[in-house]
Amino acid sequence: MPALLRIYRSKLAVAHTARSWSLWMRRISTNACHLQPILMLRLVLLLLAPACALAQSRSASPRMSGASSHFNSAQPTPMNGDVDQAKKDLDGCHVYEVTSIPGSLEFASHFMETMVSDPRDSNLIWGLTADLSHTVPASNRALYISKSTNGGKTWNLVARLDSRYFDADIAEGLRNGLAVSPGGTDFVITTQEGAFQVFPQSDTSPAVVRSIVGPRVPHPLPELSIPKKEGDPVRAGVVEMTADGKHMVVGYGYFDGNPQLFTYRRNNDGTWINDGTLPHLPTDLDIFSMQFDNPRKRRPDALYVGTGDQVYRLDLRTRKWTRVEGVGPDSAIHSMTVVGGLHLAACWGVYEPLSALAVKRVTGARFLLHRTKDEVGPNIRAYGIEVDPMRHNRQILTAITGVYTSDDGGTNWKRLNDLPEGEFHSAHFNADGTVIVSGFVGTFLANPLSKACSPRLKTREK
C-alpha cells in the first residue's frame, strides 16, 4: 500500500506535505460516501482519468445478450432504420441502444453526461458526450454537443470542442456541465479549463468557442493542493441558465476548499459578462449539483445547491443560505430535480420532497447495492434522478447498479433488468413517457412505465 500511495501522489502532483495529502484523502472520503481506503484510491483514478479511467474499449464493455437485437450494432445505422428499430423495440417492451452519437465508438464515447431540454421546446433535447478513451489519440479526443428531435432515437452533431478546451487527465468526461439558450443559438459548457460559450456554425465550419471569465488558482496555492498551478483556471462544474437565457450561475472549485458561485448576464452581443458572486456556501466541499427552484421562471426565487455533504437553498432576494432538512451527514448530492418538489440522488440514498426546505430519505426500497452480490436495501449510490414533467408520480433513478423506476412517487422501485450491466448516470423523460438512460456502457431508450410493458401474472388454465 505505501508504494501505491507514492505512485498516486506523484501522478496527482499533490500532497506537498503529509498533512495536505491527509486532508485531500479525507476530502475524497467525504465526497465518496466513506469508501474503504483501497476504494478511495481507486476513486482518485476515477476522478483524474478520462471516462472513468478504465483501461478497456467499448468493444470490451459487457453486454447482456438477448435484451435487444440492437445491442451488438457496432456502427450507426441510417436514420430511418434507427427510428424504425427504436419504435419496434419500444413497442415490444425492449430497450433500444442508441448508436447515432458522434465519436469514436470507443469506451464511454456514447455516455451522455447530461441531457437538457430546450427552454422553448421540450421536444428538442441537447446532450453532451466526451470521447476521451485512452485508445483515442490525444489530438482526436473531444467533447461533443448533439441534438435530438425524436426523443433520443437519433442524434445530430451540433458542436465539437477539441483538447484546447478541456484537460483529459483531470476528471473530464464525468462532471462536465451543459446549459442551452432558448432555441439552441448558443451553449455553455464547463470543464477543468473553466467555462466556455459555444456558438454552433454551419455543417462545414467549426463552432466558435469563447472563454467565460472565471476564477483562477490563487497565490499561494490552496492548503488542499490540486493538480494545477497558480494562475490556471479553476475548474467550472455545474451551470444553470434562466429560462429567458439572459442570466446564468456557474459553480467553480475542485478539491480546493473554496467552492464559488459566479453570476453572469448576457451582453448585447450575446456574450456573457461577469455580474458578481453569490454569498459563500456554508461548506468547503465541492459543488456537485444545482437547480433553480423554478427553472421555467425568468426570475427564480431561489437556488438549490448540492455539495459533497449537504443541500443548501439560497434565497435570491435576501441572499441568505438555508440548509435543507432531512439529508444525512456527509451525503454527496450527485443530482437533483425540482419537478414536483426537490428530489435528490445521493450517497448513499434517495430523497423525496416534504417542503421547499425539507426532504425525506427513501428507507423502504430494495435497491441492488452491488452488482456481484445479492445485498439489497435503500443505501444505493445514486447518480441521477428525474421526474416525468407530465406525470409527477413517475420517477427514474440511475445508479451504480443500473436503472430503477417508480410509478408511485418514489415509494416503491423496480430495477430495469433489460440493460447491460454497468453504472448509469443520466436520464431524461420524453413527452410520451419513454425514457433515455445513459452510462459508461452506452445510451438506451426504454418504456418501462407504460401499461403495456408492466409485468402480468399468467393464470393457469383449468
Dump pLDDT digits (tens) for 73-119.
333 334 555 777 776 667 667 899 999 999 998 999 999 999 999 98
Cis peptide before 220 (omega within 30 of 0): yes
Q: Which three cell numbers stand for residue 398?
A: 440511475
The rounded distance, in Å, linking the Cα atoms of 251 and 278 is 10
Q: Which three cell numbers stand for residue 458?
A: 399468467
Does a structural domain hold residue 447?
Answer: yes
CA dihedral 130, 131, 134, 136 (to 10 degrees): -160
Lookup result for grid cell 473553466: 194
Cell of 399: 445508479
pLDDT in tens, 327-371: 998 899 999 999 999 999 999 899 999 999 999 999 999 999 998
Share of the chain above pLDDT 70, in %: 79
Q: What is the pLDDT of residue 334?
A: 98
Count of CB atoms within 10 A of residue 329's CB?
8
Q: The cell 452488482 sits on which residue?
A: 371
Examine residue 460 and state whether it is found in any structural domain, yes or no. Answer: no
CA angle 358, 259, 54 (to 5 degrees): 95
Cα–Cα distance measured from residue 54 to residue 111, given in angstroms and rounded to the nearest whole number:
14
Q: What is the mean pLDDT of residues 252-274?
A: 96
- Residue 23, CA atoms < 13 Å, CB-side half-sphere: 17
* 18-22-24-28 Cα dihedral, nearest 10 degrees: 150
Q: Please report the pLDDT score of residue 296 as a whole number.
A: 87
CA-only gyration radius of the chain, Å: 21
**Cβ atoms of 367 and 322 closer than 8 Å:** no
Domain assignment present for residue 458? The answer is no
What CA–CA distance (Å, rounded) separates 180 from 168?
Answer: 23
d(CA 397, CA 351): 11
Least trusted range by pLDDT, from 145-149, 421-425, 455-459: 455-459
Spell out the alpha helix ranges (H) of 201-265: none
Tell me which H or E stretch contains 128: strand 125-131
Q: Please determine, for residue 414, whether its predicted confidence score (pLDDT) is greater than 70.
A: yes
More confident residue, 56 or 257: 257
pLDDT at 249: 98
Across the range 55-82, mean pLDDT stands at 36
pLDDT digits (tens, 9 = 90+) for 285-335: 999 999 999 988 889 999 999 999 999 999 999 999 999 999 998 899 999
What count of residues does the chain have? Answer: 462
Domain range for 169: 2-453
Q: What is the distance between the alpha carbons of residues 287 and 129, in angstroms, rounded to a whole number? A: 21
Task: DSSP for 80-99, please give it.
Answer: HHHHHHHHHHHHTT--EEE-
Mean pLDDT in the chain? 83
Q: Is residue 461 part of a domain?
A: no
pLDDT recorded at residue 78 = 43
Q: What percentage of the chain has pLDDT greater than the value 90?
A: 67
Dist. CA 80–CA 102, nearest whole Å: 17
Q: Residue 462 domain-assigned? A: no
CB atoms within 10 A of CB 227: 17
Q: How confident is the model at residue 271 (pLDDT cuts 50, 70, 90)?
A: very high
pTM value is: 0.84
Q: Answer yes or no: is pLDDT of 9 > 80.
A: no
Strand order across the beta sheet in which 260-266 lies: 236-241, 247-252, 260-266, 272-277
**DSSP letters of 292-307?**
ES-TT-SS-SEEEEEE
Q: Within a domain: residue 98? A: yes
User: How many domains are contained in the chain?
Assistant: 1
CATH number for the domain including 430?
2.130.10.10
Q: How would you classify residue 208: left for phi > 0, otherwise alpha for psi between -120 and 50, otherwise beta?
A: beta
Q: Which residue has the higher pLDDT, 21 or 389?
A: 389
